[in-house]
Every structure is written in C-alpha cells, then in structure tokens.
Structure 1
Amino acid sequence: MPYKNVNRLAIMLRRLQATRLLKTGQKPRIDDLIVELAKYYEVKDNTIRHLRKRNTTSQASLALALKIARFFECQVEDIFVLDTDPEPVLSHNNLKDADAEKIQLTNT
C-alpha cells in the first residue's frame, strides 16, 4: 500500500523561532536553530536541513525522530506523520455536530 510521510519540522522550527522572539525580543534565524538542533544531537546541519524540506523522500531514523521530538517537547507524531490513507476515515469522534446530525437523521 503506498504511503507518504508528512513532515512538520519546518512548522516546528518556525514555532520555536516565534517562542524565542517572545521570550528574548530577538528573532533567531531559522538557520541558527537548525545548527543548534544539529549540534545538540550530533548530526550534520544538512541532515536537519534536508528533513526540513517537506517534499523530500528521505525520512528521519526512528532514533533521530525521537530526539527531535524530545527537543521540541512533543510527540513524534506531532512532527512526522505516516499517512497510509489519503482519504480521512470518518468516525463519530471527528465529525462536526452538523454532520453527525445529518447521519443520525438519515439512519432513523
């Protein structure tokens, strides 16, 4: 079954940039954050830069994905998502109230 890897690393870096701007009053460059992340986990800067690109075929190793999530204090799934089903599966939990009412009315 084909799948695609959704990578939100660029979004997480921009959020970190905004957080640091609010805390320090200075806006760090994204490139500086990439260097910081790479140094922290002893990988090459280019590894992080390459992962930051959304349309890349490369994927982070499990160990690196876990480390990156720890750096951002979030879950791995917040950054790296394996999308095996391009069409969302509708369940009662992710339906809007209006949609749930329509389904309920048609089932009665």
Structure 2
Amino acid sequence: MADVVVISETIVRPESYDEGSGRVKIHLSPWDLFFLRAEYPQRGLLFPQPDPKTDFIAQLKSSLSVALKIFYPFAGRLVKTDNEDDKTASFFVDCDGSGVKFVHASAKVEM
C-alpha cells in the first residue's frame, strides 16, 4: 500500500461567478431523494509525475473552474429545510457558486 501525502486542499469556484446574478434553487423530486440514500461514486484522477516546468495543478484548477461555470449545480450546496407545519423536510440544491474541494496529493508506489 502506498502512503498518500496531501500537498494542498483548495476550493475551486466557477469561473467569473457573480454572487448576485443567476442564483438558482433546484428543488429535488421524490426520484432525486431516492438517490440521496444510495452511496455516491467518488472519483479521482491519477497522473504520472509531471514535468516540473509545467504548472499542471494550476491548469487543472483553471479547467475545473470553467467546467463549473457550465455545470453550476456541482458548485452548489445541498440544503435541507424542515417544514414545521406538516413535520416534513424538503431538499434543494442552492446553486450559490460555493465551489468544490480540490485536493492535490502525492503517493509513492512501492514495488
């Protein structure tokens, strides 16, 4: 097993996000709520050791920022609202541009 060393953790926000414009709430349907209980797939990208002259991590963050501008719900937050009148709860995605966690880590593979 390889030891993983976290080099940095940052929040990447959508490119040129404007707080006041276009903030959207996406309300979840019963079908969407069903999938909240399921385990979600976690993804990671593995790359070989890059050339030290290339600022590879900055390029990845920039690319992610552009993608989040297009797929803005991924940069939002899941919000739960308790409804006191009928003792239910509702969920929605607040597309507030909070951003996503970007973790830069390194691992030495033992052979």
TM range (shorter): under 0.3
Structure in which a larger fraction of residues adopt helix: 1
Select the structure with the greater relative contact order (CA < 8 A; seq sep ≥ 6): 2
Structure in which a larger fraction of residues adopt strand: 2
TM-score, normalised relative to structure 1 = 0.22
